[in-house]
Structure 1
Amino acid sequence: MAPPGVYEAEKVLQAKIVMAGESCAGKTSILRRYTELCPATLSPPTSYIATIGIDFKVKTISFNDTTMKLQIWDTAGQERFHTFTTSFFRGAHGFVLVYDITSTESFQGIVHWMKDIHEKADENVEIILLGNKCDKEAERVIPKNRGEKLAWEYGIPFFETSAKDNINIEDAFLVLAKEILNKSPCVLLDLDMVDLHEKAQKRNCCKL
């Protein structure tokens, strides 16, 4: 307890979240929409260069008198980076698993990513499933009910999202953050983000 007249510093809980899914599912677009493009009038670029290796961004949110700093890691989906990116799964509190509703391959890949999470991440992590690019209805090949069924089988929340039109992005991350907080509030770590970022960059350079 702080001495009389001295206010205690607000405690900020920090959680590590990892984006996972096949290349071009839209993970980077979702992350940039969530962390960078807050004004409703601001539109994201039409395309992004595929993530090379790994990177992260930070988003601070508040709800129910709780402040959480989300450190969100954006992993590459390409096979040549697979071992490297999955090495960052350990220590994660949550995963955002993404597929592209216009790509059968990306949807089928979810099974393999879930297997990696169960094998390489810590136990009892929280996971949400996102069917991205729902703005491309004319190009859809994965019906919404297939995504819902898969999420039901895994027992995880499901959203169809659009980074382009900013559909369900905020809601999805808020649900994940609340699930993490409700399940394991005492294990949220004070992560050294700068140091982790520098290590990631160094490893990235070695892999190129």
Structure 2
Amino acid sequence: MSRVDLKVVLLGNAMVGKTSLMERYVHDSFNCNRPYQNTIGTVFAAKRVQVNDVTLIMGIWDTAGSEKYDAMTRTYYRGAKAAIVCYDITKSSTFQRAKHWVRELRSIEENCKVYLCATKKDLCDEGFVSDDPDIQNVVERYASGTQTKLFVTSSKTGENVVELFDEIIQDFISNPENLQKVEEAIVLSKKTGERYCCAI
């Protein structure tokens, strides 16, 4: 199996843009002509990231957002170092669901850092009005109160997508224990001749 140093999971309601977020970061692409489809189960992607003189392999699990897949989703976020909890900036109900994931992660995966991600900022920029005009103020207060880092993103334009993942990487490597495990994994990979495929 391919080496993964930094496991990241994407959580949130169906159709909030988790898959688009992953594709923008991994492949720097956005397909506006693609019909909307719910993720069934989980989609995986990997990216090789160079940080100073260390090469990290980031594995990203894009999970299904439908509640009927909740039990399955929990098996994928176990052991994750970071979780990106997404909500659609135009739909306040998706933020309520995001709070569920934050609570669950904090109670089960204590070592997993949580990042709150507002998606589809481009719709607001184009004049689309949210169903709750005060949603962003509510979210900012919530993020501050729960010490959760908040990013407002657009997968369509790429705004703040790289910045979000860069923050995750910096938080990960700031922990000496994480770096030690990466170095051990690199040595093991060289000894076993392990090969892996990932986006550059």
Same fold per superposition (TM over 0.5)? yes
Q: In 1, are the aligned partners of 2:90 and 2:130 still within 8 Å (CA)?
A: yes
Secondary structure at the aligned position of 1:51 is classed as coil
Q: In 2, are the aligned partners of 1:13 and 1:67 still within 8 Å (CA)?
A: no
After superposition, the Cα gap between the structure-2 partners of 1:46 and 1:103, relative to the gap in structure 1 and judged at 3 Å, is farther
- For 2:97, give the aligned amino acid: G
Match of 1:69 among 53, 57, 63: 57
Q: Deviations over 1:169-188 (max 9, x none)?
A: 00000101111221342345
Which residue does 1:29 correspond to in 2?
Answer: 20
CA distance, structure 2, for counterparts of residue 21 and residue 27 of structure 1? 7
Q: How does 1:28-177 map to 2 (within 5 A)?
A: 28-37=19-28, 43-47=30-34, 48-121=36-109, 123-137=110-124, 138-141=128-131, 143-177=135-169
Higher relative contact order (CA 8 A, sep 6+): 2
Task: Extract unaligned runs of 5+ from structure 1.
Answer: 1-11, 195-208
CA distance, structure 1, for counterparts of residue 185 and residue 33 of structure 2? 35
Query: Structure 1 segments of 4 or more deviating over 4 A?
Result: 187-192
State the shift of 1:146 in Å.
2.4
CA distance, structure 2, for counterparts of residue 21 and residue 28 of structure 1? 11
What value does the CA root-mean-square deviation take over the aligned residues?
2.6
CA distance, structure 1, for counterparts of residue 129 and residue 185 of structure 2? 43
Secondary structure at the aligned position of 1:136 is classed as helix
Q: In 2, are the aligned partners of 1:87 and 1:120 still within 8 Å (CA)?
A: no
State the shift of 1:13 in Å.
7.2
Q: In 2, are the aligned partners of 1:93 and 1:180 still within 8 Å (CA)?
A: yes
State the shift of 1:190 in Å.
4.7
Q: In 2, are the aligned partners of 1:18 and 1:92 still within 8 Å (CA)?
A: yes
Q: So what's the TM-score if we normalise by structure 1?
A: 0.77
Task: Extract unaligned runs of 5+ from structure 2.
Answer: 190-194, 196-200
Which residue does 2:198 correspond to in 1?
Answer: none
After superposition, the Cα gap between the structure-2 partners of 1:92 and 1:190, relative to the gap in structure 1 and judged at 3 Å, is farther
- For 1:132, give the aligned amino acid: T
